[in-house]
Amino acid sequence: MKIAQLVERKPWIGWLLFAGTAGAVFAAAVVGATIVERRQESAALRSMDPIDPVEPRSEVWGEGRPREYETWKATADTSFRSESGGSAMRDLIEEDPRIAILWAGYPFSRDYNQARGHAYAIQDVRNTLRTTGPMPATCWTCKSPDVPRLMDTMGVAAYYKGSLNDLGHEVVNPIGCKDCHDPKTMDLRITRPALVEAYARMGKDVTKSTHNEMRSLVCAQCHVEYYFSKDTARPNYLVFPWDSGFSAAKMEKFYDQNQFHDFVHKLSKTKVIKAQHPDFELYSQGVHARRGVSCADCHMPYKSEGSVKFTDHHIRSPLADMSTSCMVCHRQSEETLREDVYMRQRRVNERKFAVEDQIVRAHIEAAQAWKDSATEKEMEPALDKIRRAQWRWDWVAASNGLGFHAPDVAQQTLGQAMEFAQAARLEISRIRARRGKTDTVPMPDISTKEKAQAYIGLNMDSLRSVKAGQASMFRAWDSAARIREAGYGKKTP
Ligand code: HEC
Ligand code: HEC
Ligand code: HEC
Ligand code: HEC
């Protein structure tokens, strides 16, 4: 039977065919367009000369990839501010002078700013008052695509052994394409050995990760807790302390086993561990990680330009554009969801401040106990509790996103910090009471950054003048780098 006859007898078939054909045509057109577009895109990406593997400059990588390059460049935009985050320069000691007391005896008491966009990674290390004295080259590790090149040419251990200033002329490009991409295939890749090594110690091979895992692991090269080894055989070697696990308690166990501390607190003499920014670790314990949502899903969402879909490389707070970063999965209104984020962050913030207050008191009361001639043996258990309290408080406070990545875990960790801080204070008051001192230790006036820094004996003017004197060194680094880079990618005729 011919189709025409069939349609004559059963007219609905005609409609079905029509609809079907139209649908198929439409679908084919869409698929076709997508395929053509993808083919053009991937052909364009492939036909480009493979990038010189030493090439650190994102301008060069960005040639022919204008959408990724332009959005990457936009990380220099400092205009977005949310309730507790955003891209602006924010002086955290100014906002909360107690931070100076907590880091007394350590460079974070001098200068402590909120993280900004990747474009500022180099500039902010150069400008911070934390780098006025000699620092290890290891500090450059999470700042620049120049680092993998140095590791290749110098050897990893020799690179870490170097000094920040000696390698300054080699490290000038802020976080860029080469940190996350392969120069030949543009696939995502891991360029930092510390991540590979930490996985290996956990019995895992990071190179076997799925594509979706890679969308978080590229970030986990830097947005993690780490420390510089004090082992004399490999000084300042970068290590992620994940051997026992990702929680604050498990990392602390690792540090305890290695008898590690970053510095001795100037007031209380506590052996303190400074947390860096355990973003990947906190995120990994949250509901989004459990549901397979990656860092890139929220911080590098897909964007459309005409018919082209691409990954937004303007990495920043996802609250700046929730329509692309959250609303692809969530059905609430943007306002409701934003309020939900803020509510969780406010609760973490309240708890964080309450704990901070207790730890500051504990340091100052411990200092008084020493003056009241407490013995080391008596003080040891109290200082051990301050160490545990401050580590847990810092583990949450130094994480980016004010606990949003796993609010329950942040709250629980702060809860433990509170218990340790209060127990430490009780112990110190008993030590003093044994000497007949039952008065309340008075708290100093630390209501401003200046007052808090003066109280811990910092000479800020001298630090600022040392910093001002470094400007010509930075200019020399930049010009040396430009001359060296001019030689990259040149083929010998
Ligand atoms: C479910 C979405 C989501 C995922 C997944 C996610 N984040 Fe976030 N992130 C957020 C939100 C929301 C904030 C809070 C932003 C604010 O307060 O403005 C944030 C804040 C941050 C910040 C601070 C930004 C600022 O402006 O204060 C950093 C850094 C960050 N995240 C890194 C990461 C890393 C690294 C990962 C993966 C290990 C990750 N995030 C996974 C949603 C996400
Ligand atoms: C912090 C890591 C990171 C940096 C830096 C980075 N990218 Fe990406 N890039 C990604 C991620 C994640 C994706 C998504 C990959 C996927 O899911 O397949 C991506 C995707 C891409 C793609 C595939 C097409 C697309 O848009 O999805 C291209 C091309 C690309 N990036 C180019 C660049 C260029 C050029 C630079 C430097 C100007 C750069 N990237 C810097 C992480 C990064
Ligand atoms: C090579 C190390 C490195 C890698 C890889 C990296 N980051 Fe960062 N990130 C940093 C540093 C360093 C800063 C702080 C820069 C500053 O303050 O000058 C930062 C800042 C940020 C900020 C704050 C930006 C703002 O405007 O407030 C966000 C958000 C962020 N990173 C997310 C990510 C995500 C998501 C990934 C993975 C796709 C990633 N980062 C990969 C090192 C890295
Ligand atoms: C790729 C999908 C996806 C994206 C993108 C995403 N989420 Fe989610 N979100 C989920 C899933 C899945 C859950 C878990 C729902 C459940 O199991 O109840 C969730 C849960 C949440 C929760 C509840 C958390 C809790 O502890 O119960 C909040 C709040 C939230 N998301 C906020 C955001 C925000 C803000 C963004 C954008 C920055 C975002 N999400 C982006 C998938 C996503």
So what's the pLDDT on residue 290?
98
- Residue, of 21 and 453, whose pLDDT is higher: 453
Query: How far, in Å, CA of 88 to CA of 106, rounded?
Result: 25
Q: What is the pLDDT of residue 12?
A: 47
Q: Which ligand is nearest to the CA of 81?
A: 1
Give residue 30's pLDDT.
43
Given a cut of 80, whether residue 47 has pLDDT beyond it is: no
Our answer on whether the CB atom of 322 is closer than 6 Å to any ligand 1 atom is: no
- Give residue 45's pLDDT: 52
223 alpha carbon – ligand 2 mean position (Å): 17
CB 84 within 8 A of CB 442: no
Of the candidates 480, 457, 380, the residue with the CA atom closest to the CA atom of residue 424: 380
Which residue shows structure tokens 């395929």? Answer: 35
Instruction: Give the residue, 488 or 192, on which the prediction is more confident.
Output: 192
pLDDT in tens, 122-162: 999 999 999 999 999 999 999 999 999 999 999 999 999 99
pLDDT at residue 485 is higher than 90: yes
Q: Which residue's alpha carbon is nearest to atom 34 within ligand 3?
A: 219
Ligand 4 atom with minimal separation from the 404 CA = 29
Q: What residue type is 105 in one-letter code?
A: G
The angle subtended at Cα 237 by Cα 180 and Cα 484, nearest 5°, is 55
Ligand index nearest the alpha carbon of residue 62? 2
Task: Label residue 36 by pLDDT band (50, 70, 90).
Answer: very low
Residue nearest to atom 37 of ligand 4 (CA): 326
pLDDT at 486 over 70: yes
Confirm or reject: Cβ of 221 under 6 Å from ligand 1: no
The one-letter code for the residue type at 234 is R
CA of 280 to the centre of ligand 2 (A): 19
For residue 408, which of 290, 243, 256, 276 has the smallest C-alpha distance?
Answer: 290
pLDDT band per the 50, 70, 90 thresholds, residue 438: very high
Q: What are the pocket residues of ligand 3 if the criterion is a CB atom closer than 6 Å to any ligand atom?
A: 86-87, 115-118, 120-121, 124, 142-143, 175, 179-180, 218-219, 221-223, 295-296, 299-300, 315-317
Give the pLDDT confidence score for residue 354 in this predicted structure.
98
Residue 301 CB less than 6 A away from ligand 4: no
Asked if pLDDT for residue 210 goes beyond 90, the answer is yes
What tokens does 50 get?
Answer: 């493979």
Query: Residue 51: CB partners within 8 Å, gap ≥ 6?
Result: 60, 61, 183, 184, 489
Mutation pick for ligand 2 pocket among 73, 181, 300 (CB with most ligand atoms within 8 Å): 181
CB contact at 8 A, 145 and 164: no
What is the C-alpha to C-alpha distance for residues 493 and 225, in angstroms, rounded to an integer? 47
To which residue do tokens 């629980």 refer?
412
In this predicted model, what pLDDT tens digit does every residue of 218-236 receive, in sequence order?
999 999 999 999 999 999 9
How remote is the CA of residue 409 from the centroid of ligand 4, in Å?
A: 16
Question: Taking all residues of the chain, what is their mean pLDDT, rounded to a whole number?
Answer: 92
- C-beta separation of 408 from 63 below 8 A: no
Is the pLDDT at 32 greater than 50, yes or no?
A: no
State the closest ligand 4 atom to the C-alpha of 406, by its place in the atom list counted from 1.
Answer: 26
Is the CB of residue 69 less than 8 Å from the CB of residue 58? Answer: yes
What is the tens place of the pLDDT at every residue in 318-336? 999 999 999 999 999 999 9
pLDDT at 39: 47
| pLDDT band at residue 57 using 50, 70 and 90 as cut-offs | very high
Which ligand 1 atom is the nearest neighbour of the CA of 325? 2
Q: Among 9-18, 69-78, 372-381, where is mean pLDDT lowest?
A: 9-18
Closest C-alpha among 75, 96, 97 to residue 86? 75
Q: Is the CB of 216 under 6 A from ligand 2?
A: no
Average pLDDT over residues 364-382: 98
pLDDT confidence tier of residue 41, bands split at 50, 70 and 90:
low
Encode 16-41: b = buried (16+ Cβ within 10 Å), e = exposed: eeeeeeeeeeeeeeeeeeeeeeeeee
